Amino acid sequence: MSNISAQEVQQYLFEHDYLRPDELAKRTGTTPDQILALEKAQCIPAASYVVDGEMNVTSSFGTYQLPVTPERYYHPSIEGWVAKALSLTQTRKLSSVAKIVRAEFDKHFEEALNGNPPPWPGGSDYAWNYMIDGTWGICLKNIDMNHLLTKEYARATIREIVSTDAVEKLSSAEREQLIAAILAYRQVTMPFAPHEFDESSTQCEINPAIEKYNIKQEELVS
């Protein structure tokens, strides 16, 4: 990670259309202050990244260490969350909007499970906590129930196959199941930021499974 530059991370944020509060506000017809208020009230997922620090500026006068104003970056699919929350704020306080957003989240969670156990302990609280702290915006192409459950079910399947196979050889059915899980994971996730890649589920779980079972690239074409 030490060889990753700030410019590379900034380029990643640009290429994947992460939005600053002013950009998100412009897209949704509101203000940056209102975006921050919605986030603080847990009416929308939090910013996935906050960039701050300092800049060294050198000239013939010398070198100056100048603070960088912190900048928040939101996943682009937050736009829909903001639009929905704003519509609710027309007749409700933020605290009431937050309760409605959470209740709808829990409802969609149960509907998506369709009676099946979730891919983690903790039920909807686990998914919600990762929602409001911006975590899902780090890895998912879209922040919605289908994407997050597809990703986590795929991870659970891969972990189960890898952990129970001591001889490093799979049956045909197990291999098909593993490949299907990897394809499902890739379908709903986007590339991780360069500074986080080494700690990501892609690098720590998916790629080791591909290498361990010698899965060819042509097998991963859906």
Please spell the DSSP secondary structure of 35-75, one letter per residue. Answer: HHHHHHTTSSPPPSEEEEEEEEEEETTEEEEEEEEEEEEB-
> Distance (Å, rounded) from C-alpha 118 to C-alpha 112?
10
Give pLDDT tens digits for 130-161. Answer: 999 999 999 999 999 999 999 999 999 999 98
Res. 215 pLDDT band, cuts 50 70 90 = confident
Highest mean pLDDT among 5-9, 82-86, 121-125: 82-86
Closest to 75 (Cα-Cα) out of 160, 181, 190: 190
Q: Say whether pLDDT at 1 is over 60.
A: no
Please say whether the beta carbons of 50 and 71 come within 8 A: yes
> Distance (Å, rounded) from C-alpha 34 to C-alpha 52?
21
Residue 186 in tokens: 């890739």
Please say whether the beta carbons of 47 and 72 come within 8 A: yes
Percentages helix, strand, coil for the chain (3-state, rounded to 5) are 60, 10, 30
Percent of the chain with pLDDT over 70: 96
Q: What's the average model confidence in pLDDT over 52-81?
A: 93
Taking the CA atoms of 47, 206, 148 and 166 in sequence, report the sign of the dihedral they define: negative
Res. 72 pLDDT band, cuts 50 70 90 = very high
> Distance (Å, rounded) from C-alpha 195 to C-alpha 8?
9
Percent of the chain with pLDDT over 90: 81
Q: pLDDT higher for 1 or 62?
A: 62
Res. 222 pLDDT band, cuts 50 70 90 = low
Give pLDDT tens digits for 25-63. Answer: 999 999 999 999 999 999 999 999 999 988 899 998 999
> Distance (Å, rounded) from C-alpha 46 to C-alpha 36?
9
